[in-house]
Amino acid sequence: MKRKIIISAAVVLLVFFSIFCFLRHYYSVHGNKIKAIAIDGAELKVEIAATPAKRNLGLGGRSGLCASCGMLFEFPEEGVYPFWMKDMKFNLDMLWIAGDTIVEIKKNIPYSDGIGKTFVPTVLADKVLEINAGLSDKLGFKVGDKVGF
């Protein structure tokens, strides 16, 4: 009887561990879905901020991103979407995307000790990609580049 309980518990733990290992490739520790995207031959893993609450929080409060990571903000329609640096702790590059094309880039935006400075694009977009400051120059991203989702 005791052996059956131990085996059952081991099976349950194995199932939960397997599910965790599977999901960690698809969801971040912050609960955001993870997706691979490609720009100009470079592959990035991005967290998806698809709800108003996730978009409002963004990367605020975090200490940084991995070298090939980012956050992709998805909006239901094209519009002028300003972004702010509230509660940020590191500098960013921001790329506004319309459909599958980069339409504007703001580089090396300082976090200014978490002060909520706002950056307003001059074009319509339905997505915004935030990446580490300097990465768009390092990888050669430019307006007109296609983004593979």
pTM recorded for the entire structure: 0.81
What's residue 41's pLDDT?
92
Name the band, by pLDDT with cuts 50, 70 and 90, for residue 7.
low
For residue range 68-121, list pLDDT tens digits in order: 999 999 999 999 999 988 889 999 999 999 999 999 999 999 988 667 678 899
Name the band, by pLDDT with cuts 50, 70 and 90, for residue 124.
very high
Q: Do residues 67 and 61 lie in contact, with contact meaning Cβ atoms separated by under 8 Å?
A: no
Question: Which DSSP helix (H) or strand (E) runs through 130?
Answer: strand 125-132
Task: Round to whole Å and give the CA distance between 8 and 14.
Answer: 10
How is residue 51 annotated by DSSP? S
